[in-house]
Amino acid sequence: MAEEMREHLTRQILPFWKGLKDEENGGFYGYVGPDLAVDDRAVKGCILNSRILWFFSNACMTLRDPSLLEYARHAYRFLKERCLDGEYGGVYWSVAYDGCPQDTTKHIYNQAFAVYALSSYYDASKDAEALETAMDIFRVIEEKGFDQGGYREALDRSFAPADNDKLSENGVMADRTMNTLLHVFEAYTELYRVSGERRVGEKLAWILDTFRDKIYNPAKHRQEVFFDNDMNSLIDLHSYGHDIETCWLLDRGLNVLGDGERSAAFAPVIADLVAEVYRTAYYNHSLSNECERGKTDRKRVWWVQAEAVVGFFNQYQKEPSHTEYLEAAQNVWGFIKAHIIDPKSGEWFKHVDDEGRPEEGNPIVEPWKCPYHNGRMCMELIRRTEDGQ
C-alpha cells in the first residue's frame, strides 16, 4: 500500500494541486468544477488554504523534496497577508479571489487549522515567524474561544457569539461539536510537537479528558457529535468517519504528549470505537458515511475512506492479532483506487454510492474539498512503513 500511495501522491495528487497555484492573486484557486474547469474568481476558503499549506509542508518533509517548500511558502504568504485579521486577530473564514475579506466569521475550527498548518510549515521551513503566528492564534483560541464549558465555536469578527451554522448539520444547531474539538486537539498536537510549550500540553490533556468524559459514549460504543452549551447530546447520530479518524488522532496526540497513564486509559476506548466502526460501517470493502436515528447513509464519502485506511491500519499496528483491520485497510484502499480516484484529474471524487458510482455535478475542489485527507493518508502509510512502526 505504501508504495502505491507514494506513486499516487507524487504522480496524481501533487501535480493536480500544484496546478492550482494562483500566481496573480496569491494562494490557490478555490473551485474546480466537475468538468475540471478552474474558476479563478471563486472565493478562497481560509480552511482550504490552511490545509493546502499543511499538505505541501508535510509532502516536502515526507518525500524529502525541497522543491515542494516553495508551494508551502506560497500558501504561507497568502495566509499571513490575506487570511489573518490584523485588527482583531485570528483568521477569517474566507476571502475573495483577490484576497479581500469575504466572510469575516472567526470560527474556532478555522483557527485550529491555521495553527495546524503553521506548525507544520515551521517544521518544514524553520521560519520562526510561522511558529510565532501559530502561538498567537493559540492564544486567540484560548482567550476568545474558551469558557468554563469548553470551546465555543462560531464567533463574529470581533469574537462575539454567532450562529454555528457552519459546523452544524443533520437539522440541529449545535453550540459545541465533537468535530471542532477533534481538530483543536489535532492542531495542538502538532503545535506541542514542534514547540514543547507547557500550556499547549496542558490543553491537550484537558481535551483528552473531555473526549473520555463527555464525547465518548461507552453504552453506544461511539462518540456523540452535536451538543448544546452544557454538552448535552442533541441527536442520535454515529459519524463513522469521525470516529475512525478520532482513534488514530488520539493515539498521535497521546504519543506526542508522552503521558503513559492516559495512553493506558485510552487504549480500551480507542479499541472500542474501532471495533464498532468495523462492525457497523465496514461494508462492501468501504465505509458507510453515518447512521442517523438508526438509518444508515451508505454514501461513500472521499474523506471517510481515507480516514478508514489510516484508522484501521493504526489499530492493526497496535494489535497485530487483529488481521481483519489490516485486511480492511487494504480493501478500502482497493475501493479508493477502483472508484474514488477520478481518472481524469487524479484527485478524488467527493463521494460515490456504495457500489462506487460517482454522483454527477460535484466539484473536485471547493472550500471543504482539499488534499488534506487523501494526501495525509498517503503520507501516513509512507511514514509508518519507513519508520518501521
pLDDT tens for 208-234 read 999 999 999 999 999 999 999 999 999
Q: What is the pLDDT of residue 108?
A: 98
State the SS3 of 173-187: CCCEEHHHHHHHHHH
Distance (Å) of CA 160 to CA 122, 157, 169:
30, 7, 22
pLDDT of residue 383: 96
- Give residue 202's pLDDT: 98
Residue 147, C-beta contacts closer than 8 angstroms, at least 6 positions apart: none
pLDDT, residue 354, reads 85
**Would you state the pLDDT for residue 375?**
98
Examine the pLDDT at 389 and tell me if it is beyond 60. Answer: no
Flag the least confident range among 7-16, 63-72, 161-170: 161-170
Is the pLDDT at 388 greater than 70? The verdict is no
pLDDT tens column, 12-63: 999 999 999 999 999 999 999 999 999 999 999 999 999 999 999 999 999 9
Model pLDDT for residues 311-332, shown as the tens digit of each residue: 999 999 999 999 999 999 999 9
Residue 371: its pLDDT value, please? 96
First-to-last C-alpha distance (Å) of the chain: 14
> How long a stretch of residues is the chain?
389
Q: Is the distance from CB of 53 to CB of 45 less than 8 angstroms? A: no
Q: Say which CATH topology domain 2-381 has.
A: Glycosyltransferase (1.50.10)
**pLDDT, position 182:** 98
Residues 6+ apart with CB under 8 A from 261: none
Average pLDDT estimate for 280-302 = 97
Query: What amino acid is encoded at 264 in this protein?
Result: A
- pTM of the entire predicted model: 0.97
pLDDT for 387: 67
Determine contact, residues 297/290, Cβ cutoff 8 Å.
Answer: yes
